[in-house]
Structure 1
């Protein structure tokens, strides 16, 4: 099991510090990392340790840049493919150039179809459709625009449209809107083997039930196997591993 401390909602430059932590504690073999805080190293470790997966299919919601700070680019280099989803049109255009083996979608994911306002910042990694998250960080980040709206889709719709038969990895990093994304996928019908989700909902090991994300995934037979820098790592408990 992997555990370390929380981070603030505005991401910080801890990439190499966390990478060295993983190398020391996990004794992992990887010499490259692309995610901001070493998440891709933890993902690869868990996929191999629990699921014995070398190749597979991912859905990356809030994928941001195709290479820099990507949680799935290391897997892409190892032969994986999947669906990458982001609010930012320019970043999705970059995905189409750099990751031709993936399906790229410019949209927002929610638990229902609606038109929502997009809060866009100079640091695109904190773009959001969550008003509460915007209120939390607006005094610490440079807002570029709040005039654009976007029509949301559910993960169920995307999975059905693209005829996805299996999901080995689901990554969710959408700045305060993560629970709504989780609720948009039918976890009884579609069972991602590993779910990595940002948890900014006052997660506390002493009071796990207070986290709506933890409680929801536990109810759907997912086990928390790691918590690193505000990201929860959950394995499907119904699998034999």
Structure 2
């Protein structure tokens, strides 16, 4: 946790205490508290794509406990069982992707919380333990079936490198969620540019997540958040690209060497 994130949380402590929320210390819990503060304690509707386990890593458990309704999307059968046992939100046992994959069954690389449809986009160090076949839908088709409200409150997308494909299967201008949280390691600006083109602007960078709101939203970016966004999305990007290319080269050379000696 850096100083900017600490100050961002400090700004939210007052509203959190007024809403009766306990102030906690872990990074993930702080982010969920910041989300609660953003909505001011008002009940709403959430959509979590890449729900994973029901509580500890969830971006919506705390909202459901506060009376929110919503949708959980998770393709891993064991986690689907846990979600249905512990959560009241409707669970869709599918993976989300772009329109070209609607109705297909695709390989899903299982690696704990780093699992993904996109093997190439998985976090460095992710080691898939197995590959399973999962059904795939677009987020639009899921929201239509669930009869989700237009301008619902909160969308979280955390699918380990497959986020841009999920966004391509989701009509942002039609649904207009009030807050969109997207995991983004910022290897490039593709997700950021996609959101801007769809009429959204970034207001916060917290850990690996970008927070986006509609252009016309009254939510404003704090000065500390503005600096963190400039640093992460622009100033540090060339260095990050070089580092990622170096990792790619080392990996490619390592695979080639293994092939020569095998």
Structure-2 residue corresponding to 1:232: 210
Per-residue CA distance 1:36-64 (angstroms, 9 max, x = gap): 3632122112223xxxx611000000111
- Residues 1:116 and 2:103 aligned together: no
**CA RMSD across the alignment:** 2.4
Paired residues, number = 208
Specify every segment of 5 or more residues in structure 1 that has no aligned partner in the other structure, as ranges. 6-17, 203-209
Structure 2: any 5+ residue segments left out of the alignment? 220-262
Superposed displacement of residue 189, structure 1: 1.1
Q: Which has the higher helix share?
A: 2
Offset, 1:133: 2.3
What's 2:260 paired with?
Answer: none
Corresponding position: 1:168 with 2:153: yes
Greater C-alpha radius of gyration = 2
Q: Which has the higher contact order (CA 8 A, sep 6+)?
A: 1
Q: Does 1:152 align with 2:136?
A: yes
Given candidates 13, 35, 40, the residue that maps to 2:32 is 40
CA distance in 1, matches of 2:170, 2:90: 18
**Whole-Å separation in 1 of the counterparts to 2:83 and 2:32:** 17
Determine if contact 1:35/1:69 at 8 Å carries over to the other structure. no
Provide TM-score, normalisation by structure 2: 0.72
Partner of 2:13: 27
Alignment partner of 1:199 out of 180, 184, 188: 184
TM-score w.r.t. structure 1 length?
0.78
* Equivalent-residue separation in structure 2 for 1:115 and 1:239 (angstroms): 38
| 1:187 shift after superposition | 1.3
Once the two structures are superposed, the pairs formed by residues 83-162 of structure 1 within 5 Å of their partners are 83-100=71-88, 102-112=89-99, 113=102, 114-121=104-111, 124-134=112-122, 137=124, 140-146=125-131, 148-162=132-146
1:176-187 → structure 2 map (5 Å cutoff):
176-187=161-172
